[in-house]
Amino acid sequence: MVTYNKLGVKKIINAAGTYTKYSGSLMKEEVLDAMKKASKQFVDIDELLTKSGQYIAGLLDVEAALITAGAAAGLALSTAACIAGNNKYLSRQLPLSDGLKNEFIVMKSHRNPYDQAVITAGGKFVEIGNAIETFGWELEGAVNEKTAGVFFFVQSDMFRASLTLKKIIEIAHRHNLPVIVDAAAELPPKENLTKFVNQGADIVLFSGGKDLRGPQSSGLMLGRQELLDKCRANGYPNHALGRPMKLDKETIMGLTTAIELYLNEDQKARMEQWEEQTDFMYEKLKNIEAFEIELGYPDQPLTQPASIPRLFIEVDEEILGFNKEQLRDKLAQDEPVVIVETDKNHLLINPHMLQRGEEKIIVKKFKDIIKEE
């Protein structure tokens, strides 16, 4: 059997979070079993997408659900659905969208690296607001005959420049425009699975390979049946823009199982584990002279997600002899490989994907590096 060791691939301790570049999350045995069983039989993919969507919608008590090849694929399909609908002639033109309703309004403070998925599908962004403030009248004024929808990036809701989702929905719906919400990493809490749909969002996107712990290549789309049907019309297995975003039967069954497990999971126990791990690391590292450490929660986007406690470590370069980026790189060298992230001012330790006991290994790695210096 081919293993990571055989390939020479280093295994890591993931203290960064559910980032795709660090392989997302770890699947439960029940999910792997469901995928293995699914691999033993042929099925019609179109029927499987329909029936799995109905099953998930029933579990969550929402109008409709659709499994996608990741949340970014959901962004592309949402864009295609708003531009081409279920018109096969228009669908075959995408991503060429000149002459069609192809503009999507987005707050400047909500622009992010995943915008490329919208552009890939033929969407064009119309920005409103600035880095300090955004007003409802700006959204009203941006609407024209080419407007196809409004995008909202949940992580950016923490910016002071952001209008609330409630306000965005109110104005967009007054103009009969759909609101597409990117909530890819907004779990936990599990209540978020239905929160944004219940607020009136027309399409809400989640990653299947983050806190849901389904296959890394999966995503979940929730929302209005009419719109999700249009997303399906533009997606796999149809010959349309989403055809390259292939979903196998194993992924569909794996994510469906992961969602069912997630809804029955003790979320309080998971949060207690993260708190215990961060408390332990804080106590063991707080007296290091070169560190100024805080326990807290993020106040910036792309933090995977903001509901989980973590350590924020300021590094005194003069005392330590190297900066936080160099410390991050040293942690990632040699086994055990520890992966952390940095922001503008801090080295960050996120317990989201830590296994029990790995917090002790992390502390030892820190102390070994500092002792070596």
Residue 146's SS3 state is: coil
Tokens of 239: 């010959």
**Structure-model confidence comparison of residues 303 and 100, the more confident one:** 100
Residue 372 banded pLDDT, cuts 50, 70, 90: low
For residues 188 and 186, what is the distance between their CA atoms, to the nearest angstrom? 6
Torsion of CA 107, 299, 202, 207, to 10 degrees: 120
Considering the domain architecture, whether residues 290 and 353 belong to the same structural domain is answered as: yes
For residues 223 and 78, what is the distance between their CA atoms, to the nearest angstrom? 11
In this structure, the number of other CB atoms found within 10 A of the CB of residue 48 comes to: 18
Considering the domain architecture, whether residues 154 and 233 belong to the same structural domain is answered as: yes
**Given this model, what pLDDT does residue 304 score?**
79
Q: Could you read off the pLDDT of 129-138 as tens digits, one per residue? A: 999 999 999 9
For residues 176 and 148, what is the distance between their CA atoms, to the nearest angstrom? 10
For residues 23 and 351, what is the distance between their CA atoms, to the nearest angstrom? 15
Considering the domain architecture, whether residues 197 and 95 belong to the same structural domain is answered as: yes
Main-chain dihedrals φ then ψ at residue 255, nearest 5 degrees: -70, -40
Q: What is the DSSP string of 13-72?
A: EE-S-S-GGGT-----HHHHHHHHHHTTS---HHHHHHHHHHHHHHHHT-SEEEEESSHH
- Give the chain's mean pLDDT: 95
For residues 75 and 180, what is the distance between their CA atoms, to the nearest angstrom? 8
* CATH number of domain containing 307: 3.90.1150.180
Measuring CA to CA, how many Å separate 42 from each of 48, 203, 248, 250? 11, 30, 11, 11
Residue 305: inside a domain, yes or no? Answer: yes
**Given this model, what pLDDT does residue 298 score?**
86
Q: What is the mean pLDDT of residues 349-372?
A: 93
Considering the domain architecture, whether residues 340 and 257 belong to the same structural domain is answered as: no
**Given this model, what pLDDT does residue 373 score?**
52
Q: What is the mean pLDDT of residues 93-107?
A: 97
Question: pLDDT over 70 for what percent of the chain?
Answer: 99
For residues 35 and 40, what is the distance between their CA atoms, to the nearest angstrom? 9
Of 350, 347, 365, 370, nearest to 289 by C-alpha is: 370
Task: Give residue 183's domain range.
Answer: 42-263
Tokens of 314: 């300021």
Residue 108: inside a domain, yes or no? Answer: yes
In this structure, the number of other CB atoms found within 10 A of the CB of residue 116 comes to: 12
Final residue belonging to a domain, choices 263, 293, 311: 263
Q: Are 104 and 79 in contact, with CB atoms under 8 Å apart? A: yes
Considering the domain architecture, whether residues 12 and 46 belong to the same structural domain is answered as: no
Considering the domain architecture, whether residues 240 and 200 belong to the same structural domain is answered as: yes
**Given this model, what pLDDT does residue 322 score?**
92
Given a cut of 90, whether residue 158 has pLDDT beyond it is: no
Given a cut of 80, whether residue 302 has pLDDT beyond it is: no
319 secondary structure, DSSP code: H
In this structure, the number of other CB atoms found within 10 A of the CB of residue 131 comes to: 10
Q: What is the mean pLDDT of residues 140-164?
A: 95
Considering the domain architecture, whether residues 117 and 240 belong to the same structural domain is answered as: yes
Residue 289: inside a domain, yes or no? Answer: yes
Considering the domain architecture, whether residues 57 and 73 belong to the same structural domain is answered as: yes
Considering the domain architecture, whether residues 277 and 357 belong to the same structural domain is answered as: yes
Q: Are 130 and 108 in contact, with CB atoms under 8 Å apart? A: yes
Given a cut of 70, whether residue 151 has pLDDT beyond it is: yes
Q: What is the mean pLDDT of residues 200-208?
A: 98
Considering the domain architecture, whether residues 74 and 220 belong to the same structural domain is answered as: yes
Q: What angle do CA 122, 128, 132 make, to 5 degrees?
A: 135
pTM of the model: 0.95
Main-chain dihedrals φ then ψ at residue 182, nearest 5 degrees: -90, 105
371 burial type by CB count under 10 A (0-12 exposed, 13-18 middle, 19+ buried)? exposed
Q: Could you read off the pLDDT of 282-301 as tens digits, one per residue? A: 999 999 999 999 999 988 77
Considering the domain architecture, whether residues 293 and 338 belong to the same structural domain is answered as: yes
Given a cut of 70, whether residue 186 has pLDDT beyond it is: yes
Considering the domain architecture, whether residues 49 and 15 belong to the same structural domain is answered as: no
In this structure, the number of other CB atoms found within 10 A of the CB of residue 135 comes to: 12
Q: Could you read off the pLDDT of 65-89 as tens digits, one per residue? A: 999 999 999 999 999 999 999 999 9
Q: What is the total count of domains within the chain?
A: 2
**Given this model, what pLDDT does residue 149 score?**
98
For residues 205 and 189, what is the distance between their CA atoms, to the nearest angstrom? 15
Q: What is the mean pLDDT of residues 7-20?
A: 95
**Given this model, what pLDDT does residue 237 score?**
94
Q: What is the mean pLDDT of residues 36-43?
A: 98
Residue 171: inside a domain, yes or no? Answer: yes
Final residue belonging to a domain, choices 228, 247, 263: 263
Q: Are 94 and 138 in contact, with CB atoms under 8 Å apart? A: no
Residue 214 banded pLDDT, cuts 50, 70, 90: very high
